[in-house]
C-alpha cells in the first residue's frame, strides 16, 4: 500500500518549478540584453545624426547644374529656368563648402539636396500664391528662403535666423549670388518683433501654435503664415486654433508628395483676421512708442 505524501512534495513539481525559474531568468536576461541593445543603437543613431559629416563630392558648377537638371526633370520641375537653376547650383556649392567647416545640413549629395532642399522649398508655389514681403522664420542655412528668393528675384524676402554663424553664411550667399531685396535678420522672431510683412513661411519643426504667437505683431492684417510640415501635423491644427482662433483662420490644408518620390508633406496656411492691440507700456518697454504714434 502506497503511503500518502503528507508534505505534498512532488519531484515532478519540483523539476517544473526549477525549470520555470530558469526560464524566467533566461527571459529576464534576454529582455535586459534587448533593452541594452536598443539603448546602444539609439545612442549610436543620435551620435550619427549629430556628427559633422563632410561632403565627399567634388563637382564643378556646371556639373552640379547638370545633376540638378536631371533631378528637376525627374521630379516635376522640368521647366525650371536654366539661369535660376545655375543660381541654385552655386548656392549648393557654397553650402557644401561651408558644410566642410560647420555642420549645417545632413543632406549632402546633389540628388538629395535637389529634391529635399530645393524642390521641397519651391513646390509650395504650386499650391498657393505667396504674399510679399515674405519672412522666412528659422531659415537655418537658407531654406526655404534662398530658393524662393532665387525664384522671385524682384520680391522682398527676409531671412530670420538667431544663430550667428548661419547669419554670416547667409550674408555670404547674398553677396556671392548678388541677391537683391534680401534682408537678413540676425535674431529669433517673437512678439517683440514689429517688422511689417505680408507673409511668413517656415520649414522649422516648432509647433504652429508657438509660431503664430511669435509673429502676431509682425504679420499684417490679411497676411498669411505658410507652414511646411510633415504628414502627421493634425494634432497641431486644433491647438493652434484654440490658442489663436480669434486672430487667425485656417486658409489651406494641402497634403501632397514630392513628385515621383515617397516623401509626404502638408502645407498649412493661416490668415490673420484680427490685429492684437498692444499697450503703450509694452511699446515703451521696447522703445517703439514714437514709431507707432499717429
- pLDDT tens-digit readout, 100-157: 888 888 888 999 999 999 999 999 999 999 999 999 999 999 999 999 999 999 999 9
pLDDT tens, residue by residue, 48-102: 455 788 877 779 999 999 999 999 999 999 999 999 999 999 999 999 999 988 8
Question: Can you give the pLDDT at residue 52?
Answer: 83
Other Cβ atoms closer than 10 A to 183: 13
Sheet containing strand 157-160, edge to edge, reads 182-185, 157-160, 134-137, 197-202, 219-229, 264-272, 248-257
Q: What are the φ/ψ torsions at residue 119 (nearest 5 degrees)?
A: -65, -40
pLDDT at 43 over 70: no
Give the residue among 266, 277, 270 at the shortest CA–CA distance from 251.
270
Predicted pLDDT of residue 74: 97
CA angle 122, 179, 95 (to 5 degrees): 65
Q: Residue 277: pLDDT band by 50, 70, 90 thresholds?
A: confident
Residue with cell 511669435: 214
What pLDDT score was predicted for residue 42? 47
Check whether 243 has a pLDDT greater than 70. Answer: yes
DSSP code, position 84:
H
Q: Whose CA is closest to 145, among 110, 113, 118?
A: 118
What is the percentage of the chain residues whose pLDDT exceeds 90?
70
- Residue 13 has a pLDDT of 57
Domains annotated for the chain, with CATH where assigned, are 129-292 (3.40.50.150)
- The whole-number average pLDDT for the span 211-218 is 97
Higher-pLDDT residue of 244, 55: 244
pLDDT digits (tens, 9 = 90+) for 164-209: 999 999 999 999 999 999 999 999 999 999 999 999 999 988 999 9
What pTM was estimated for this model as a whole?
0.79
| pLDDT of 290 higher than 60 | no
Residue 136 confidence (pLDDT): 98
Amino acid at each position: 500500500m502506497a503511503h500518502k505524501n503528507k508534505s505534498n512534495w512532488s519531484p515532478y513539481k519540483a523539476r517544473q518549478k526549477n525549470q520555470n525559474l530558469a526560464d524566467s531568468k533566461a527571459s529576464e536576461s534576454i529582455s535586459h540584453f534587448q533593452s541594452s541593445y536598443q539603448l546602444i543603437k539609439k545612442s549610436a543613431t543620435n551620435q550619427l545624426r549629430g556628427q559633422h559629416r563632410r561632403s565627399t563630392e567634388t563637382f564643378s558648377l556646371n556639373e552640379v547644374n547638370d545633376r540638378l537638371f536631371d533631378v528637376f526633370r525627374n521630379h516635376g520641375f522640368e521647366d525650371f529656368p536654366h539661369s535660376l537653376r545655375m543660381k541654385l547650383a552655386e548656392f549648393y556649392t557654397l553650402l557644401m563648402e561651408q558644410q566642410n567647416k560647420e555642420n549645417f545640413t545632413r543632406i549632402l549629395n546633389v540628388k538629395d539636396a535637389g529634391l529635399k532642399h530645393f524642390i521641397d522649398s519651391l513646390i509650395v508655389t504650386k499650391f498657393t500664391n505667396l504674399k510679399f514681403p515674405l519672412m522666412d522664420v528659422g531659415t537655418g542655412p537658407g531654406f526655404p528662403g534662398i530658393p524662393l528668393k532665387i525664384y522671385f528675384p524682384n520680391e522682398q524676402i527676409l531671412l530670420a535666423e538667431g544663430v550667428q554663424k548661419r547669419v554670416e553664411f547667409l550674408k555670404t550667399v547674398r553677396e556671392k549670388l548678388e541677391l537683391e531685396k534680401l534682408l537678413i535678420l540676425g535674431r529669433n522672431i517673437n512678439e517683440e518683433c514689429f517688422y511689417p510683412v505680408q507673409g511668413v513661411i517656415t520649414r522649422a519643426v516648432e509647433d504652429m501654435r508657438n509660431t503664430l504667437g511669435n509673429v502676431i505683431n509682425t504679420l499684417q492684417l490679411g497676411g498669411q503664415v505658410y507652414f511646411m510640415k510633415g504628414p502627421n501635423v493634425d494634432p497641431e491644427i486644433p491647438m493652434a486654433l484654440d490658442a489663436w482662433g480669434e486672430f487667425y483662420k485656417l486658409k489651406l490644408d494641402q497634403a501632397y508628395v514630392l513628385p515621383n518620390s515617397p516623401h509626404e508633406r502638408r502645407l498649412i496656411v493661416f490668415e490673420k483676421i484680427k490685429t492684437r492691440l498692444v499697450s503703450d507700456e509694452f511699446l515703451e518697454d521696447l522703445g517703439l512708442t514714437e514709431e507707432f504714434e499717429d
